[in-house]
Amino acid sequence: MIELEGVAFGWPDAPPLWSGLSLRIAAGEKLVLLGANGGGKSTLLQLLDALVFPRAGSYRYAGETVTPARARRTDWARRFRREVGLLFQHPETMLFNPTVRDEIGYGPRRLGLADAEARIADWAARLRIAHLLDKPPFLLSGGEKQRLALACVLVMEPRLLLLDEPLAHLDPRTARWLLDWLAQSPATVITSTHQLASAPQLGRRALVLAGGGLAYDGPLDEALADTALLARADLA
């Protein structure tokens, strides 16, 4: 599903966050993305969501090279946005509609999904925000905003889920529901987290960003047992 070959990324007038990054991810895999603050985890998820593009190297999704030109093609962009969902680390980044109902329905309505209203009701109920549907998002608590942001992504039922610190701000009940739902979901899931205790419930394969590149790609349990690796990544 995902192929990165020699990818480098850096913001303008700044050194690369990482370079020479190569990996392959099969459909249905569950991966945990680890690394220090500022190490480029969020940026990597944004690159996989085609919000930013490599400075060097290539990114292929489902066999097609992802480029700015391709992302501007309406037909390709509609399919890609239907299949790939990104949860930002800070939910306020995602919220811009006048009501909770409009937030959840934004994607399905924009793509003209026939069951948009049913999806809104379903995911609002699953995430226990049905009683908030007519409220403006800025009036919600931090935990409610996080549940709303999750609903906005999951309502599209994407094939690829990119989750940036999804357990932040969640109450234990919702966190448990999310972990259980992700475990049984057929979607490919890449989750960035700082909560090492929860990492084994999020996937079996770990990607560790450190030292300007991909320092580790392999079994999560071996990564968590490697104290030298965790220290190098500022995780221990």
DSSP state of 187: S
The residue extents of the domains of the chain are: 1-29+47-68, 73-199, 204-236
Work out the angle at residue 174's Cα, subtended by the Cα atoms of residues 169 and 178, and round it to the nearest 5 degrees: 105
Strands (E) located in 130-212: 160-164, 188-192, 205-210
User: Distance (Å, rounded) from C-alpha 101 to C-alpha 97?
Assistant: 9
Question: Are residues 48 and 162 in contact, defined by beta-carbon separation less than 8 angstroms?
Answer: yes
User: Distance (Å, rounded) from C-alpha 154 to C-alpha 230?
Assistant: 31
Q: Report the SS3 class of residue 179.
A: helix
User: Distance (Å, rounded) from C-alpha 196 to C-alpha 74?
Assistant: 39
User: Distance (Å, rounded) from C-alpha 99 to C-alpha 19?
Assistant: 41
- Which ranges of the chain have pLDDT less than 50? none
Q: Give the pLDDT score at 39.
A: 84
Assign domain 73-199 to a CATH class: alpha beta
Q: What does pTM read for this prediction?
A: 0.94
Radius of gyration of the chain (CA): 18
Q: Give the pLDDT score at 11.
A: 85
